[in-house]
Amino acid sequence: MKQSTTTKKPKEIVHIENVERPSPDFPIVGIGASAGGLEALEQFFENVPNENGMAFVVIQHLDPTHVGIMPELLQRTTKMKVVQVSDRLKVQANHVYVIPPNKSMSLLKGYLFLFEPVELRGLRLPIDYFFRSLAEDQMEKSIGIVLSGMGSDGSLGLQAIKEKNGIVLVQDPLTAKFDGMPHSAINAAVIDIVAPVDELPSKLIAYLNHSPGIVPQPENDDNSKTNLEKIIILLRSQAGHDFSFYKKNTLFRRIERRMGIHQINKIPNYVRFLQENPKELDILFKELLIGVTNFFRDTAVWDKLKEEILPELFAELPNGHVLRAWVVGCSTGEEAYSLAMVFKEVSEKFKKDKNFSLQIFASDIDSDAIEVARKGVFNSNLLFDVSAERVSKFFIKDGEQYRVNTSIREMIVFAPHNVIKDPPFTKLDLLTCRNLLIYMEPVLQKKLMNLFHYSLNTGGIMILGSSENENSHNKQFTPIDTKLKLYKHFPNPTSDLLDFPSSFSHRRIQPTVDIQPTKTADNIQNLADQLLLQHFAPASVLINQEGDIIYITGRTGNYLEPAAGKANMNIYAMAREGLRNELPGAIRKAKQNDKPVKLQNIKVGTNGGVQFVNITFQHIEKPDSMKGLIMVVFYDVATPPKASVKKLKPGEQSSVVDRHELELELQHTREELQSTREDMQTTQEELKSANEEMQSTNEELQSTNEELTTSKEEMQSLNEELQTINAELQSKVADYVAANNDMKNLLNSTDIATLFLDKELNIRRYTDQLTKLFKLRQSDIGRPFTDMVTDLNYPEMTEHATEVLNTLVYKETAVSTRDGKWFTVRIMPYRTFDDRIDGLVITLINITKAKKMEAELEKARKRLKENNLL
């Protein structure tokens, strides 16, 4: 995403890279909001101290065609300087930065850069875009906050921040005007703080002020190591997972983060807190898993896989080969689905020459993540890195979400699995383990490399994360591309003997003793176990209740074979002749009984011959992860000896005839049963055909639903923009009301009668004092003022008003009223801010007292003149 954007402005990017700028040493807080966000932002900044030592970057969904006034609105709620971002703007502490309309924004070494908006199928996700860049730039110092809004923008960005060990905060959905974005964020990541918006600032500041600082040199602090081991024990008891071989610095940083959230300064106090709060153990467990993933992560890896690796692999494999892949640490399934999509694209190119199928085993220790992966349903923002072509080809619109289509979903088996202690998947052609090994210590990395080497076929492909390396030290893998972390299995006979994962789960925690290499005796025992499994253990398959084969041990080709047509890993479909009639009844009995069910001397047709076999069926009850599965074990037996031929006596001939008749009857019964089964299969095919027709109808309805959903999304996006504009307009209206009240009170306080007229001499506004001279009511606004009855002796008023409009020269006249009062009438042009004449302003100043004094002075002058005093 960034690469495609930066190509538009190469000069700026080159200029920035050539200048070394240290990242700012103060926290940069990204705040994402949408509908209802203005109110939430105002409440947030009202509770932020002016001198807080942080910089805040606000990413609000704005109408791209509307000139935003967000900075002016937020400036009223805080004394921090609020500015609208311009390109290449340096971030400073105690400032608030607001994204401009119709832009995407990124952060690099403390500078904000603007780009043309990035759209995903018509949706803009500016919050995710900025949060991702914030995580990459600020790493563990990144802080992301999601406030009120509709949709799911911001969820992916918070995941990126959590991956870098940053802190994420979300407004409590119960207090949000629109709870879509807060709910989506809470479901997408482990949120550090969820609170009402007015409490978020204080909680954030409290966290930053109470960072316990336990990470520095923990290996030299025996007390810290002891308490860390106690936390590992509590986690193992609660979640069943042992973190003993995880990197201690990673564990300390995650623990420190949780201590900061709860404002706990000492690690022994946090151990006590964990003992008293099992829910906190679950949260810490989720924190340590760091289940962050997305579709087609590291695009270059998937391009290499599609263009070179898989085509070369297909060229070497025989037609009809079933590839097996294992995605270790699949989290919510995006990587497994990405692999399935790439395989589908490549296999279609080889379809004319060869047909391949792929079985993907995707595993993760987090059962909640596995449940999400099994559903195969994703929000639109999670498909940000998926091309529109792939979305239309491999996904089905399901309301506001996208569902993986059936062809992709059926390729993958999701299962909870602990790679450290559970048996591995084997006979693999492809294995991916990305961004898991970086959290483990070298001794565990090495053991997992041996495990992966054992699991892969010769020439199999292993893919690691961008920060990981092949760590076997025995040339077990040949590098294909060291930059992209692609490796090929190398059959090295001198490689380390394999320690099966179960050895890890029983290892004691020894905090004061270094881990010693595995003893030779243990290796010999494991090797012996391995040889027994490979060469002497009977062939077996593990099936589910429907007969689908989940796991195969040994060579089962003498008993099972792939059925013609579409690949089908079902034991009923793969059973050879002789087993097909025996399996259904035996499996049904095994389901109903915990005791083993055995079949003796079953005659099985092989390639041109027959083989006798004993079969044992065992229904599994424990452990819970395998409950309900059935183990089917095959034992080859010698061909039963033929009975010696003797001359029969007359009485024995009848017995032989009866037996022959019974055999014929049994054969006939078997043929009828076979016919019945064929009828049943025909019926099933008809039902499948009807089902396909229903699916076709469903697709048509789905297409109609997609169109309606698209319209709904467009309306939702428009509604969000209107919400923001409406909030701004309401703020402006409030300003205008306040200004109008100020003007009204000002005019009334002057005690000057004022009349405002438009160009047609219609009444626009008047003050209360004017009603004493003109018979006016509120309903008269808009009527010609010449229609109004007045007490003024001023017949030339209309003429003078017209003259002022024409000449733009004001006119002032002294006028009396019928009750003997005097007023100075001043008629002036009404000028707007842009110096445009838009009517008249007529003011009437009461000069009655002055006139009376003038009359009295005149009378006094006359009296003095008459008395010859002047």
Q: How far apart, in whole angstroms, are the C-alpha atoms of residue 689 and residue 398?
A: 24
Does residue 433 have a pLDDT over 80?
Answer: yes
Long-range contacts at 261-266 (CB < 8 A, ≥ 24 apart) = 261/192, 261/193, 261/207, 263/206, 263/207, 263/210, 264/212, 265/210, 265/212, 266/212
Which residues neighbour 826 within 8 Å (Cβ) at sequence distance 6 or greater? 810, 811, 812, 842, 843, 844, 845
Helix axes 278-289, 267-276, angle to 10 degrees: 120
Higher pLDDT, 707 or 228: 228
Residue 246 predicted with pLDDT over 50: yes
Lowest-pLDDT range, 273-282, 693-702, 736-745?
Answer: 693-702
The CA distances from residue 356 to 14, 310, 362, 843, in Å, are 46, 11, 19, 93
CA 261/CA 192 separation, integer angstroms: 7
- Three-state SS for 85-119 is CCCCEECCCCEEEECCCCCEEEEECCEEEEECCCE
Task: Give the pLDDT mean for 220-226.
Answer: 67
In sequence order, what are the residues at sequence separation of 6 or more whose Cβ sits closer than 8 angstroms to the Cβ of residue 841? 754, 755, 756, 757, 827, 828, 829, 830
What is the pLDDT, as a whole number, of residue 380? Answer: 79
Angle at 237 between CA 234 and CA 240, to 5 degrees: 120
Of all residues in the chain, the percent with pLDDT exceeding 90 is 19
Average pLDDT over every residue of 672-692: 74
What are the pLDDT digits (tens) for 729-753?
A: 887 788 888 888 888 787 777 778 8
What pLDDT, on a 0 to 100 scale, did the predictor assign at position 384? 76
What pLDDT shows up at residue 170?
95
| pLDDT tens-place string over residues 87-111 | 989 999 999 999 998 888 999 988 9
Reply yes or no on whether the pLDDT at 417 is more than 90: no
Computed over every residue of the chain, the mean pLDDT equals 81
More confident residue, 417 or 651: 417
Lowest mean pLDDT among 35-44, 430-439, 622-631, 708-717: 708-717
- Report pLDDT for 699: 67
**pLDDT for position 641:** 53
pLDDT of 504 higher than 80: no
Lowest-confidence pick of 52-56, 119-123, 742-746, 847-851? 119-123
pLDDT of residue 345: 92
| Model pLDDT, residue 36 | 85
The rounded distance, in Å, linking the Cα atoms of 427 and 429 is 7
CA 413 from chain centre, in angstroms, equals 22
| CB contact at 8 A, 35 and 63 | no
The pLDDT score that the predictor gives to residue 165 is 81
- 750-765 pLDDT, tens digit each: 778 899 999 888 998 8
- The yes-or-no verdict on residue 771 having pLDDT over 90 is no
Pairing of strands 322-328, 357-364: parallel
Burial 780-809 (b: 16+ CB within 10 A, else e): beeeebeebebbbebeebeebbeebbeeee
In percent, the amount of the chain with pLDDT more than 70 equals 84
Alpha-carbon gap, residue 47 to 197, rounded angstroms: 9
Answer with the residue of higher pLDDT: 453 or 245. Answer: 453
499 by Cβ neighbours in 10 Å (0-12 / 13-18 / 19+) ranks as: middle
pLDDT at 313 over 80: yes
DSSP H helices, 211-333, are 222-239, 248-261, 267-276, 278-289, 299-304, 310-316
Residue bearing the bigger pLDDT, 640 or 767: 767
pLDDT for residue 649: 56
Beta carbons within 8 Å of 359's beta carbon, 6+ residues apart: 322, 323, 324, 325, 411, 413, 569
Instruction: Give the model's confidence band at 721: pLDDT under 50 very low, under 70 low, under 90 confident, else very high.
Output: confident
How far apart CA 463 and CA 755 sit, in angstroms, is 83
Q: Which residue has the higher pLDDT, 435 or 549?
A: 549
Separation CA 216–CA 282 (nearest Å): 26
Summarize pLDDT for 531-585 with one digit per residue, the tens: 676 667 788 899 998 889 988 888 888 888 887 777 788 898 888 887 887 888 7
- Looking at per-residue pLDDT, the higher value among 725 and 418 belongs to 418
> Pairing mode, if any, of strands 95-98 and 81-84?
parallel
For the segment 349-374, what is each residue's pLDDT rounded down to a tens digit?
A: 887 778 888 999 999 988 888 888 99
Neighbours of 725 (CB within 10 A): 15
Say how far apart CA 751 and CA 774 lie, in whole Å.
15
The mean per-residue pLDDT over the stretch 172-199 comes to 89
Q: Tokens for 797, please give them.
A: 């008023």
pLDDT at 493 over 60: no
CA distances from 119 to 104, 122, 232, 633 (A): 10, 6, 44, 55
Range in 297-301, 736-740, 781-785 with the lowest mean pLDDT: 736-740
Nearest Cα residue to 579 out of 611, 607, 551: 611
- If pLDDT is split at 50, 70 and 90, which confidence band does 283 have? confident
Position 331 confidence tier, pLDDT thresholds 50, 70, 90: confident
| Mean pLDDT, range 151-177, rounded to an integer | 88
Q: Is the pLDDT of residue 867 over 80?
A: no
Q: What's this model's pTM, rounded to 2 decimal places?
A: 0.52
Whether the per-residue pLDDT at 657 is higher than 90: the answer is no
Please report which confidence band the pLDDT of residue 440 belongs to, taking 50, 70 and 90 as the band edges: confident
The predicted structure's pLDDT at residue 494 = 46
Give residue 869's pLDDT band: very low, low, confident or very high (50, 70, 90).
low
- The Cα–Cα gap between 541 and 583 comes to 13
Q: What was the pLDDT predicted at 20?
A: 45
Distance CA 454, CA 491 (A): 10
